[in-house]
Amino acid sequence: MATKQCKGSWQLCNCYHLLPLTRTPMITHVGFSRKIEAFTRRLPCLETTIIKRKPSVFDSYLRKRINVATQNTPVTTTLGLLDAFEDEYDGAIINPECLPDTSYEFAAMLHYSLSYWRLKGKKGIWLKILEDQADLVPIALKAGFSYHHAEPGYVMLTYWIANEPCMLPSTATHQVGVGGFVINENREVLVVKEKCPLRCSCIWKLPTGLLDKSEDIFCGAIREVKEETGIDTCFLEVVAFRHAHQVIFEKSDLLFICMLKPLSFDISIDALEIQAATWMPLDEFLDQPFHREDRMSKNILDICIARHENLYRGFTANRMMSKLDERLSYLYCGDI
C-alpha cells in the first residue's frame, strides 16, 4: 500500500495572534523550502512602497515536519502517522492536504498519531478538515477533538494532550466595525438611512460597516463610505472607538470612528443596503431626537465636531515594521 500523496500546498489558518495577516507563506514539501513573495498594497492617502519579506516569527513557527518519511523509515511507521508540522509551542499542526481518503484509515492513523505525539511530549494538536472530507469530522470528535472554528471551506478542531490547563488560544472573540465622519466646507455631514435595521430605519446616521478580512481600519472606513454613498474620501484620524459585548452570536464588537476628508461630492447610493444618503447641515443632523437622546451617539458626534474645529486630536495611522514579526503594520497613536 503506497503512502498518500499530498494534494498540494496548504495554508495554515490564523491559529495564533502572531501569524501573518496579509499573506501566508507557501510551504513546499520538496526540501521544505519557503517561497515568500514581495507584496505591494495601495493605501488611500498614504504612500505605499514595495516591502520585501524578511524572515519572521512565522518562519520559526513551523520549525520542521515531525512525521517525515526517509529512506530508512519503516513502512509501518510511514503508514501509521498523519503528516504534520511542529509549531513553536510544542504542538503539532496536521497537514489538511494529506489526510487519508477513507474513514477507516483516518481513524487508525489519528489514533496512532495521538499516541505517538503523547509519547513525544506534544501539547496542542490542530486539525483542519476541508469541506470535501467533512465525513472525517465525527471521527475526530469521537477521538476527543473539539470544535475551534469554521469558515467557508473548512472546519478547525483542536486536541489538548498535555496533563495541564489547555493553553490553546480561543476562536475570534470580536467583530470589528468602522464608521466614517465626513464633513464638507459648508459644514454639511455625509449621512445615510439604512434599509434593513428596524431600529434605525428612519434615522439619519453615519456610514458604518464591518471590516473585511485582513483589512486596515482606515481602509475599511474609506471603503464603506464609498460603497454606501459613492463619495471618495481620505483618512485623517481615528477619533474614538466603542467596545460592546454580546452583540452577535455572543461575540463582542469594536466600532472605530474615523475622521475622513471628502474628495468628491456627488452621491450615488448602494440601493441594496442604503435607503437614502445626503449632505445634511450639521445643526439639522444633531437636532434629530435620536442623537440628542442617545448618550453614546451624542458623545461620538461631539468628539467628531471637536476634531473638525481643531479642539481635539485623535489617532493617526503610522506605518512601520516590527522586529517581532518583520511585517508591515500600522500603529494608531496621537502626536508626541
Q: Residue 102: which CATH number?
A: 3.40.630.30
Instruction: Identify the sign of the CA torsion 104, 85, 14, 121.
Output: positive
Q: How many CA within 13 A on the CB side of residue 184?
A: 16
H helix runs in the chain, sequence order:
57-61, 75-80, 103-119, 137-142, 217-229, 282-286, 289-293, 295-308
Angle at 154 between CA 152 and CA 158, to 5 degrees: 135
Walking along the chain (336 residues) 10 residues at a time, the average pLDDT comes out as 47 32 34 30 37 37 49 46 92 95 94 95 96 97 97 97 92 93 98 79 91 96 98 98 90 96 96 94 94 93 96 94 89 88
Q: pTM for the complete prediction?
A: 0.72
Whether 37 is covered by a domain: the verdict is no
Last-in-domain residue among 132, 160, 188: 160
Task: Give the whole-angstrom CA distance, residue 163 versus residue 145.
Answer: 15
Total count of domains within the chain: 2
241 in the same domain as 135: no
Give the model's pLDDT for residue 164: 93
Q: Is 25 helix (H, G, I), strand (E, B) or coil?
A: coil
CATH of the domain at 260: 3.90.79.10
Give the model's pLDDT for residue 88: 86
Beta strands 174-182; 251-262: pairing state: parallel
Cell 475599511, residue located: 220
Give the model's pLDDT for residue 36: 28
Task: Give the whole-angstrom CA distance, residue 196 versus residue 120.
Answer: 54
Domain interval for residue 223: 174-331
324 in the same domain as 263: yes
250 in the same domain as 186: yes
136 in the same domain as 113: yes
Whether 295 is covered by a domain: the verdict is yes
Whether 280 is covered by a domain: the verdict is yes
Whether 116 is covered by a domain: the verdict is yes
**CA of 319: how far to CAs of 42, 48, 192, 240, 314, in Å?**
13, 10, 31, 19, 16
8 A C-beta contact, residue 79 and residue 93: no
Give the model's pLDDT for residue 148: 96
Last-in-domain residue among 160, 189, 219: 160
242 in the same domain as 324: yes
DSSP output for 62-86: S--BSS---TTS-HHHHHHS--EEE
8 A C-beta contact, residue 161 and residue 123: yes
Give the model's pLDDT for residue 307: 96
8 A C-beta contact, residue 125 and residue 88: no
What are the DSSP E strand ranges found in the chain?
A: 26-27, 34-35, 84-86, 92-94, 124-130, 146-151, 154-160, 174-182, 188-194, 208-210, 233-248, 251-262, 274-281, 316-321, 328-333
Cell 474620501, residue located: 233
Give the model's pLDDT for residue 6: 56
